[in-house]
Chains A and B, each alone.
Chain A
Amino acid sequence: MGSKPIEGERKVFMTGNEAVAWAALAAGADIMYGYPITPQNEIMQYWTRLGPKYNKKFLQTEDELSAGFTTIGGVLAGRRAFTATAGPGNVLMQEPMSMAEAMRIPTVVVIQQRGGPSTATVIYSQQEVTLTCFGGNGEGLRVVYSTSSHQDLYDYTIKAFNTAWKYRFPTFVLSDGYQAKMRESVVIYDPEARGIQMVPTEPFLGKAGTPGEDRPAAHLRNTYNIEEELLEVLSKDIEEYERVAPEIIEYDAYNTENADLLVIAHGVVFRSAAMAVKDLAGQGYKIGYFRPITLRPFPKEQLRQAAQQAKQLLVVESAYGQLLKIVQDNLYGLNVPIKTLLRPGVGITPEEIAEKAKALLAGKEA
């Protein structure tokens, strides 16, 4: 009771949802608020089993609106608070997260993508990219980490709390139903043992002292009387977002020098892409890959650098062009043909990617 949930590190075999719960514990998260939706349920289930042993709290809310707004409340009280959701729950989650975005409230949300639109499937997809990156009536001033393995889920859940509290932008760990439900090996560790310092939290409301006497009262709002007042606040937030973006941006790249084909993929699809690319590169093909880890902010310059050396690009995703739109936007002006393998709501195997890549390399597909 009360001691560290993980001393040092250990290798375990578990589901992605379990890894998220352990990571939140290891990161020193204080409270989770959540509403059941597949495929994220086990995050709550593990949290409610593990949490009480370490004085951690949980509230099961009436819906995802409430899960998001209570999470905001937890953060305003100065706690590392988080929630997790998926699909239609992610749609509802956009309302509270737009408030978090407007007020620079460091919420952490884990998204386990499922098929859409609507209720669709409870299994898997990559169709919540646009929603998670740009949902809400705002400008997408958020951080979105796209994970491709359980190790990523563990590492980036811990990192999400630090990114959120350091930069004060709502931070998302974007995963999917395959990663949520599948079991694989992962090393779980005490962040401190790895030299990772958790960014300290502080209350936005309920600080020490009497407001108006010892200190000014906190008057937090997201509503403004005039257009220029809003523009002033937004301009400052946008400027800050763009200034810190280079510190936040993460990506992975392989064999990008003068590639005949550069494969671009994120999340679990990246695993298939990496297998296919490495296999083909081993056979002598000039093929590389680029994986954005942060979808927001996006590694624009790094992708442009790789893409402008390539003869053609192949965007692969389990969605009908959500990553593609981001890629096109960031590569605007470059004269490199962009080919696609888009399979909304279903998994993509290395063989499928290799087949498509070989056809493109042979000049057989337009």
Chain B
Amino acid sequence: METKEILPKMPKSWNPASKPHKFCPGCGHGLVLKALGQVIDELNIQDRVVFGCDIGCSLLSWDFFNVDTVQTHHGRTTPVMVGIKRANPELITIAYMGDGGGYAIGSQHLVNAANRNDIITAILVNNTVYAMTGGQMAPTTMPDQKTETTPYGRDIKETGYPMLGPEMVAAIAHEGAYVARGSIAKFRQLKTFIKKAIENQMAGRGFSFVEALSTCPTNWRTNAEKTWDFVENIMPQYFPIGEYKVPGGKEE
């Protein structure tokens, strides 16, 4: 019997040689990278994009695209992308990181790149845990959420509150910056935010930042239904979705 392989429709900018990708089943990274891939295709910028990925699960995207890519250290993708952009402003630099990389170990880089209004795009995937290291508490772990280092639930009196990244970046960013929080549960909107963030860089207006609410069923220890419920319904209660800063001031 003849078997025919039916390939799913992939963005042109994806690297087919590294597919199927290496993220866990149910992980949200694939959807964020799908949105990004479609945006790269639609803007026809595959030859100008430099993609930088952090340490943590995001590193698994080091050969995800057919775009020039560098995998850096934990939290250090932002400065590497800043360094590239400063040296060659023709390139479109995209820093891809998790919540630990952006909000904890690399928070000084995020804050200062935002304040300097560096013309780069940072995409941060918020799945509320350190996933690659086995599910420890992240800066974004929700109140009462159980993780490997908060086995009785995150006590905000002891450990502080989840980091509100886009709110913080919007508060310190300047005119020309673009800041939004999307969710893989609202794919089209997330894609729009990513597209606007990259267009903002291409227009040379300022720092662009998108946080994407995402899933980690492996470390959440949730089934499909509970996983989706958490990202679609629970997370936005603490992490409201929308645009936080838009050049000209017309947030959606």
Which residues on A are within 8 Å of B, measured CB to CB?
30-31, 33, 57, 59, 61-63, 65-66, 69-74, 76-79, 81, 95-96, 99, 203-207, 209-213, 217-223
Would you call B245 an interface residue if the criterion is a C-beta within 8 Å of the partner chain's C-beta atoms?
A: no
Complex contact A59–B86 (CB within 8 A): yes
Given A69-B83, A70-B79, A223-B62: A62 and B68 interface contact (C-beta under 8 Å): no
Complex contact B76–A77 (CB within 8 A): no
What are 24 A-B contacts with C-beta separation under 8 Å?
Answer: A31-B87, A61-B79, A65-B79, A69-B80, A72-B83, A74-B83, A74-B84, A76-B83, A79-B88, A95-B73, A96-B73, A99-B72, A99-B76, A204-B70, A205-B91, A206-B88, A210-B46, A210-B47, A213-B46, A217-B66, A219-B62, A219-B63, A220-B71, A222-B73
A220 to B47, CA, bound (A): 16
A217 to B46, CA, bound (A): 10
Q: Give chain A residues whose Cβ lies under 8 Å from the Cβ of B86.
A: 31, 33, 57, 59, 70, 73-74
A96 to B109, CA, bound (A): 14
| Most B CB within 10 A of own CB, among A71, A206, A213, A220 | A206
Q: Give chain B residues whose Cβ lies under 8 Å from the Cβ of A69.
A: 72-73, 76, 79-80, 83, 109
Q: Give chain B residues whose Cβ lies under 8 Å from the Cβ of A223.
A: 55, 59, 62, 71
Q: Give chain B residues whose Cβ lies under 8 Å from the Cβ of A77.
A: 83-84, 87-88, 91
Would you call B82 an interface residue if the criterion is a C-beta within 8 Å of the partner chain's C-beta atoms?
A: yes
A76 to B69, CA, bound (A): 10
CB within 8 Å of A: which of B38-89?
A: 46-48, 50, 55, 59, 62-63, 65-73, 76, 79-88
Say what secondary structure dominates the interface of chain B.
Answer: mixed
Would you call B108 an interface residue if the criterion is a C-beta within 8 Å of the partner chain's C-beta atoms?
A: yes
Complex contact B80–A70 (CB within 8 A): yes
The total of Cβ contacts below 8 Å across the A-B interface reads 138
A99 to B83, CA, bound (A): 15
Q: Give chain B residues whose Cβ lies under 8 Å from the Cβ of A206.
A: 48, 50, 68, 84, 88, 90-91
Which of B62, B66, B84, B109 sits near A76, CB closer than 8 Å?
B84
Given A61-B112, A66-B108: A221 and B46 interface contact (C-beta under 8 Å): no
A30 to B84, CA, bound (A): 12
CB distance from A58 to the nearest CB of B (A): 9
Which of A63, A73, A99, A211 sits near B87, CB closer than 8 Å?
A73
- Could you list 5 further interchain pairs (A-B, Cβ under 8 angstroms) beyond the known A95-B73, A217-B67? A66-B82, A69-B83, A73-B85, A77-B84, A96-B76
Complex contact B80–A73 (CB within 8 A): yes
* Contact-residue bracket for chain B: 35 or more
Of chain B, the residue at the smallest CB distance from A66 is B79
Complex contact A66–B109 (CB within 8 A): yes
CB distance from A52 to the nearest CB of B (A): 14
Q: Give chain B residues whose Cβ lies under 8 Å from the Cβ of A30.
A: 87
Complex contact A203–B88 (CB within 8 A): yes
Complex contact A66–B46 (CB within 8 A): no
Given A61-B112, A211-B47: A76 and B70 interface contact (C-beta under 8 Å): yes
CB distance from B191 to the nearest CB of A (A): 21
Q: Give chain A residues whose Cβ lies under 8 Å from the Cβ of B189.
A: none
Of chain B, the residue at the smallest CB distance from A71 is B83
Q: Give chain A residues whose Cβ lies under 8 Å from the Cβ of B111.
A: 62
A5 to B1, CA, bound (A): 74
Q: Give chain B residues whose Cβ lies under 8 Å from the Cβ of A217.
A: 15, 63, 65-69
Q: Give chain B residues whose Cβ lies under 8 Å from the Cβ of A211.
A: 46-47, 66-68
A204 to B72, CA, bound (A): 14
Please list the 6 inter-chain residue pairs (A to B) with the smallest Cβ-Cβ separation, ordered nearest first.
A73-B83, A212-B66, A70-B83, A77-B87, A69-B79, A62-B112
| Most A CB within 10 A of own CB, among B15, B48, B80, B112 | B80
Of chain B, the residue at the smallest CB distance from A68 is B79
CB within 8 Å of A: which of B3-53?
A: 13, 15, 46-48, 50
Q: Give chain B residues whose Cβ lies under 8 Å from the Cβ of A96.
A: 73, 76
CB within 8 Å of A: which of B89-103?
A: 90-91
Complex contact A212–B69 (CB within 8 A): no
Q: Give chain A residues whose Cβ lies under 8 Å from the Cβ of B72.
A: 69, 72, 99, 222
A95 to B76, CA, bound (A): 10
Q: Give chain A residues whose Cβ lies under 8 Å from the Cβ of B70.
A: 76, 204-205, 218, 220-221
CB distance from B16 to the nearest CB of A (A): 9
Complex contact B67–A73 (CB within 8 A): no
Q: Give chain A residues whose Cβ lies under 8 Å from the Cβ of B81.
A: 73
| Most A CB within 10 A of own CB, among B46, B65, B87, B109 | B87
Q: Give chain B residues whose Cβ lies under 8 Å from the Cβ of A213.
A: 46, 66
A77 to B90, CA, bound (A): 10
